[in-house]
Structure 1
Amino acid sequence: MADSYQEYEGRPRRRGGRRVLIGFVVLILVLGGLLVVADRLAVGFAERAIADQVRQEVAKQQVQASGPDVKVGGFPFLTQVVNGRYEAISIVLTDLSGNVEGKAVSLPKLDIDARNVKASMDTLRTGQGEVVAESVKGTGTITYDSVTKLIDRKGIKLAGQDGKLTVTGPVQLPVVGEMTVHGTANLAVQKGQVVIKFERLTADGLPNIPLVQGAISTYAKQLSINVPLPPLPFGLKVQEVRPLPEGLAVTAAAQNVPLRSSAG
């Protein structure tokens, strides 16, 4: 009888223990949820603060752009705040434009990826101090329409095909009259500009006559241009250009870049 009573007395205690355990788990989940909310609120604050500072730096460089749209990567974020070091910050600028000797090609969109960014919480809060990225990479695309406007030759069409920049267009040739020529370009980067150079153009049925070949060579030189890009923010220097179906993709990079100077 005593054994039965002890067994009966033990059951409520086990149920009470389960309730405590469940309550503890719920508390942990609630605290975890609050931490996640706090983490995301802190991210939003940092993104707005960095966007304001980037906007000021872009304006200082006499570059016009819409945005920026800033996203801070890495989780949890609060540990990055404590350390004053952020894994990755992406910055998107749209409608980037500037002036290079009276003309420049605008970039519809410039994606900037900043890595290992150093910024104290006081800097983000007050707007005073430095925000420095260990490395910055920018990618954007120059539309073919904007390049053909610079070439300024009637009927010219540019395209990216099999990793090559191709051109087709009508040309008036001596002896044979108008013909549609086609060819590919050599692409290079020189002094921050994209260099497009057409060395050899041809056409179906083109006669091998020195006078005609000379006219074709002259026309190729007329199509060859340097594409002036707007000044890129954060000291970005163009390093590579590649033809894609949608346009010329440019890649720029810089090291130890101040996203904001200490002078404010």
Structure 2
Amino acid sequence: MGEVYGTQQRPRKRRGRRLLIGLIVFLVLIGVLLVVADRVAASYAEREISDRVTEQVAQQQATSEKPDVTIEGVPFLTQVLDGNYQEIHIKLPNFSGPAGNGGTIKTDLLDVRATDVNAPLDTLRSGNGDIVAGAVTGTGTIDYDQVAQLINQPGLKLAEQNGKLVGTAPVQALGQTFDVSGAATVEVKGDVVQIRFSDVTAEGLPNVPLVKNLIASYVQKLAVDLRVPALPLNLKVQKVEPQPDGLRFTAGATNVSLNTGGL
């Protein structure tokens, strides 16, 4: 009897294993489908945001290559249901715009991050209501050759030294050419970046009133106001810092509407 009983139980164990394996495979497939659906939804949203940024850049008479948008954080669908997004990362390669006086300012990359984005599901479905980013920051670098061209003084070379903007240029005085150099202050005033040089000196430069007046006049010519092009997402330049590769600017905005005033 014991042998018969044991023989009857083996098919049940096999069926149990098959059911367990089938359940595991089913759950794995469901998981894969959810991941695929999550990425498809995220890709769609990223393309929509990229198209809106492209439109706004054109409206501001600026240009850039197609924006590269990444919605950070996974799973994406969970963020959709919750109505809050951790971070939206927007890269605008080769961004450029008018800088006033017929000039143009270009940065190889305008790097923008929108955080604490509130987008209720009902708003996404209906298109009514606001999608708001609690904070938006953007960074970019303007190389020194551009800045020197905007100052428009022959032979001027700009660089960063010990965290400061310094310039050197040849100046004619008393029939000789002197290489003068000096440091500049860089300040943000509204939508204008002001560059002002001071303490311009040169080795061997005669200390006579005529030469002093000549240098003072030249320093005034080095002064320039760079009008910052209109930036997407209502970004306003807050800080400019000399870096080895150029003037790095940081822009910011708060409570930006991404579906009206922003994107």
Verify same fold: TM over 0.5.
Answer: yes
Say whether the 8 Å CA contact 2:96–2:104 is kept in structure 1: no
Measured in 2, the distance between the counterparts of 1:217 and 1:113 equals 43
Q: Deviations over 1:32-75 (max 9, x none)?
A: 00000000000011111112222333334343333222111110
> How far did residue 120 of structure 1 move?
4.4
2:87 is aligned to 88
| 1:26-105 paired onto structure 2 within 5 Å | 26-94=25-93, 95-98=95-98, 100-105=100-105
> How far did residue 148 of structure 1 move?
0.8
1:16 is aligned to 15
> How far did residue 113 of structure 1 move?
0.5
> How far did residue 96 of structure 1 move?
2.5
* Segment drifting more, 112-121 vs 236-245: 112-121
Measured in 1, the distance between the counterparts of 2:190 and 2:101 equals 14
* Segment drifting more, 132-141 vs 91-100: 91-100
> How far did residue 121 of structure 1 move?
5.0
Say whether the 8 Å CA contact 1:199–1:217 is kept in structure 2: no
* Segment drifting more, 38-47 vs 153-162: 153-162
> How far did residue 145 of structure 1 move?
1.2
Q: Which amino acid aligns with 1:32?
A: G
Say whether the 8 Å CA contact 2:53–2:232 is kept in structure 1: no
SS at match of 1:106: strand
| 1:1-264 paired onto structure 2 within 5 Å | 2-94=1-93, 95-98=95-98, 100-120=100-120, 130-173=130-173, 175=174, 177-261=176-260
Measured in 2, the distance between the counterparts of 1:96 and 1:225 equals 19
Q: Deviations over 1:55-108 (max 9, x none)?
A: 333334343333222111110000111223221111122332135354342333
Say whether the 8 Å CA contact 2:144–2:246 is kept in structure 1: yes
TM-score (norm 2): 0.89
CA 1:209–1:176: 2 relative to 1, 3 Å: farther
Measured in 2, the distance between the counterparts of 1:142 and 1:21 equals 61
Measured in 1, the distance between the counterparts of 2:50 and 2:228 equals 23
Q: Which has the higher contact order (CA 8 A, sep 6+)?
A: 1
TM-score (norm 1): 0.89
> How far did residue 258 of structure 1 move?
1.6
> How far did residue 122 of structure 1 move?
6.3
> How far did residue 233 of structure 1 move?
2.0
> How far did residue 202 of structure 1 move?
1.6
Q: Which runs of 5+ in 1 are unaligned?
A: none
SS at match of 2:100: coil
Say whether the 8 Å CA contact 1:171–1:181 is kept in structure 2: yes
Say whether the 8 Å CA contact 1:96–1:110 is kept in structure 2: no
> How far did residue 199 of structure 1 move?
0.6
Aligned residues: 262
Measured in 2, the distance between the counterparts of 1:124 and 1:228 equals 36
* Segment drifting more, 158-167 vs 240-249: 158-167
Measured in 1, the distance between the counterparts of 2:109 and 2:126 equals 29
> How far did residue 126 of structure 1 move?
7.0
Q: Which runs of 5+ in 2 are unaligned?
A: none
Identical columns (%): 46
Measured in 1, the distance between the counterparts of 2:185 and 2:171 equals 20
> How far did residue 138 of structure 1 move?
0.8
SS at match of 1:207: coil
